[in-house]
Each structure stands twice: as structure tokens, then as C-alpha cells.
Amino acid sequence: MRVKPRSISITSGKGGTGKTAITANLGVALGALGKKVIILDGDLAMANLGIVMGLTKCETNFFDVLLGKVDVNEALHTNYGIKVIPCGFRFEDAHDALSKVKRERVEEVIKEMLRETEFLLIDAPAGMADTTLISIAAAREMLSVCNPTYASLVDVYKTIRIANILGSWTRGLVVNRTGKAADLSVDEVEQFMGRALGSVPVLADIPEDPKVQEAEREGIPVVVYEPECEASVAINELAKVIAGETDLPYTPWGEREVGETTKRLIRALTGRRA
């Protein structure tokens, strides 16, 4: 039976929201539910997904794949039950990869990834850089991460507006680091989004939890480091929401998903239509 791949970009309006940690832990939590998961580090210039996932000494990465130096499978690194394609840590490598990328190579890479997985999670860079647009444009769905502050809300609002323009459907919002010290309640966040955008549901609120920082220092996803802590419980519940959603606004099966995602990524990377 063929898998039904879904591509989801994980975004935030600004840095420091905990987006990469959410991406890594959501991927691991989906893997624990028996799902096939690949996480692609879309932050081409400031990659750090590999650090969160404990993959700091990878000899191959996404840049090598784009440049045709290695196959996709050679850049897939398995940890905690899921597969990760990290980026290198040198900006020069990112510039080299993007300047030499070919449409045919992008198409081949995306087809390989989506046919090997059920969930392709793309960890998008924060802000409105070109690489952010690449990550948003590459995915059919977007999951936005914000903190319960006015500044974070305004920034993530802008990201969602951009996603709408690019044709990526915003599945919902994750409010990270909630608690007594937060500027806004989850209800206030949802009300703001309702007024600003019509309706963007809060799919999960992840409480402020010291275990998250402890886990990051150890290079271990918190859902593995301390499965029973409040943050881990909330992330595992989010994974169930994502995995159990069946009423999708598009035909989920493979060939359409492969074709659409390939076209989006080619257009974003090269400025040309497939």
C-alpha cells in the first residue's frame, strides 16, 4: 500500500520562538505513533536542526544533495526513529548550492523524499528571508509557531499572510511557552487571529518547561529526554492531532503531492516554473 505523503512547513514570524525544537519533537512524536517521518532543515543559512536532533557530525547534508554530490539516501540520517536531512553550517555552502541548483535535481530530490515518507516536515527559517519563502512555498501545509506575546503574534500574522499568497494552507497555530508569565492567554491569541485572519485555530499550547532547555543542552529531543514532562505531553498530543487529521482540503495521495511540492520548490529555488 502506497503512503500518502504530506509536506508541512513549520514557521515562525521571528527567531527565538522555539520553532526548531517544536519541529524536531513533533517529528519524533509522529515517529513514535508509527509514522514515517523525514525532517528537512530548510534554514539554509542558519541551520541548527541537527544540533537539536543530536546530529552534529554528519558528513553529508542537503547542500550535497542539491549539488548532486550524493543521493538523498546518503544525506538521510536516522535518530530517535525518524530521518533527518540537515544542512551544513557554512553560509558559503548555501550560496553555492542555491546558485547552482537545477530544476531536474530538485524534482528528483523531492520525489525521493516524498515517496519514502508519510510526513515531510520542513523546518523553515524565521523571518521573511528568501529561504523562508522557499520553505513555505515547498510545502502544501504550514504550521506556525508563536509565543504568547503581542510582538510574536504580529510577526506570525505576517507569515500566515505570505503563506496565503504562496498558496500554502495554514493548518493552525502552536503557541509555545505558555504559562503564568505570558503576556497573552491562549484564548486571547485565538481571538486575535480570528479578528485578523478570520479563523486560524490554536492546535496546541506548549507550556514553559525547564526540561526543554535541559534536553536541548544534552542534544536530545525533550519527548525522549523527559516523556512525562508537561511540554512533552503537549507535543505528543499535537502529534496525534496532526496524524489523525483526515479531512484534508486536497487529494492527499502521492503523485499529486509529489508533483505539487516539486513545482513549488523548483519555483522558489530557481524563480522558474516547472
Residues sharing a CB contact under 8 Å with residue 9, sequence separation 6 or more, in sequence order: 42, 121, 122, 124, 135, 136, 138, 139, 141, 142, 143, 163, 168
Closest CA to 172 of 139, 136, 200, 206: 200
β-pairing verdict for 77-79 and 82-85? antiparallel
pLDDT at 57: 82
Under CATH, domain 6-270 is a member of which superfamily?
P-loop containing nucleotide triphosphate hydrolases (3.40.50.300)
- Tens of pLDDT, residue by residue over 38-58, are 999 877 666 688 889 988 888
pLDDT at 22: 97
Output the nine-digit C-alpha cell for 179: 504559562
- Name the residue ranges covered by the structural domains of the chain: 6-270
Output the nine-digit C-alpha cell for 39: 525532517
Tell me which DSSP letter residue 86 carries: P
202-207: strand order across its sheet: 77-79, 82-85, 37-41, 119-123, 6-11, 141-146, 169-178, 202-207
pLDDT at 89: 61
CA dist 186 → 45, 164, 191, 207, 264 (Å) = 32, 23, 9, 11, 33
Residue 221's φ and ψ, nearest 5 degrees, are: -60, 140
Name residues of the chain where pLDDT drops below 70: 1-3, 44-47, 88-104, 106-107, 128-134, 245-274
Lookup result for grid cell 502506497: 2
pLDDT at 274: 52
By the 8 A CB rule, do 27 and 82 touch?
yes
Cα dihedral angle (161, 167, 171, 177), rounded to 10 degrees?
-40
